[in-house]
Structure 1
Amino acid sequence: MITIIMAEDHQMLIDGVKSFFEYDEDINIIGTVNNGEDLVKLVSLKQPKLVLTDIRMPRMDGIEATKIIKKQFPHIQVLAMTMFDQPDAIKQMLDAGATGYLLKNSGIKMLSKAIVTVANGETFFDPNVAFNFMNNYIDENVVIGKTNKIVLSNREKEILNLIANGKTSKEISENLFIAKTTVDTHRKNMIRKLNLSSGSELIKYAIDKKYQF
C-alpha cells in the first residue's frame, strides 16, 4: 500500500485526487494540507511512503518543505505536482530531494503512474518538462511519462510561428528579446518533440501546419 500525504492550496484539486483514489487498493491518501508548514508537521506525525506536493503554497513553499522532510525522513519519497515547467523550478525541487516532477495538466492516469514509480524508488518526469531538462539532469534510468499528444510550450509556439514566417534564430532572438542560444535550444527541443530529424524539417513542419498562435 502506498500511503500519501498531499499538499495543495487549491482544495478542489485535493478533492478531485482523493475522489479518484478513494477505492484504489494500492494507493491511500492518509492526509491533506494546504500549506508547507502543515505538510512538514503532518509528515512527521504520520510518516507516509510518499509526499505529493505543490511548489507554490502559503506559509512555506514546497521546495523548503521538501528539504526539511528529506532531511528528517530520507526514506520518504517526494513527488512534485505543479504548474511550473521552468528548468529553475525543476532543479530546485530535485536539489531539495524530490524524485518526481509532474505538471497539473498531465491527467490523473499519469499521476497514478508517477506515484507508483516514485514510491518504488525510481525517478519520474512529466514528458512535457523532460524534453527541456533531459540533457543535464535526466539519465537512462529515469521513467518519463508517455503521451500521445504533442504539447509545445507557449515560447516554443511563438518561435515556431516566427520560423513559419521565415525568421532566422538571430532575428527570433531579437524579436523575443532572448539569447540566440536559447532559440537554438528551443529548436532542438521542438525537433525532438515532433520526432523530426533536422532543422529543415522543422521549417517545413512550421510552414505546412501554418501555426498561428
Structure 2
Amino acid sequence: MRSKTGLRALRAVAALLMCASLSACLTMKSYVDPALPVVAQDQFTAPRAPAPVLVLFEFRTKGSANARATEAMRSRVIAAVAQSHQFGQIDGNAPNAGQLRVVIDNVPLTDAAAAKGFGTGLTLGLAGSMVTDGYVCTASYTRAGKTIQATVKHALHTTIGNKAGPAGLPARTPAEAANVVVDQLVFNALNTLAAQGAFADPAA
C-alpha cells in the first residue's frame, strides 16, 4: 500500500516538473494598455513648500495582501513618488510629515485566465493565448488631519505562445511592462491628488 502511494506521489511530482519545463519554453510578451493617460515627471509642479512624507505601500492580488510583490515593487513605488517632486523628502520621522498610502490591487480580467495559460503550455504555444490583468491603484494622502484619496485603473495584456498582441502597442518583457504600469499608476494618482490640492501648504 505504501509503495503504491509512493509511486503516485512520484508521478505527481514528475507531472509538475514536466509542466514547468514546457512553460519555460514559451514566449511571453506584455503590452501596456493605452487607455490611461501617460503622465511624465516634467508635468508635475512642485509645491511652494513641499512637505516630507511617509510612504506606505501594499500590493494585493484579488484583494489579498501579496507580501512578495509588495517587497519587489516597494522601491519602484518610492522612486516614482520621489520623481514627482511633490515632497521635500521621504522621511516619516520628519516634523510635519504627511502620510501617503498606496495600494495596488491586481485583478485578472480574462475569464479562465489560468486555464487558458495551462492549455497553452500543454500545446507548446502553438495555439497561443492572451490574458489581461487589471490594476487598481488607491492612493490616499493624510496631513494635518485631512485625507484626500484618488483611484486610478490600468491594464496589462500578456500573450503566451504565438498569440498576436494588441495592434499598435509595443511588446515588452513582463518585467518591463510591470514597471511601466506601476510608474504610471503612481504618477497618475499623484497627479490627481495634486490637482485636488492635496500637497498644498495647509497654512497657505
Normalised by the length of structure 2, the TM-score is 0.27
Query: Hey, which of these two has a bigger chunk of strand by percent?
Result: 2
Q: With a CA cutoff of 8 Å and minimum separation of 6, indicate the structure with the bigger relative contact order.
A: 2
Query: Hey, which of these two has a bigger chunk of helix by percent?
Result: 1
Normalised by the length of structure 1, the TM-score is 0.26
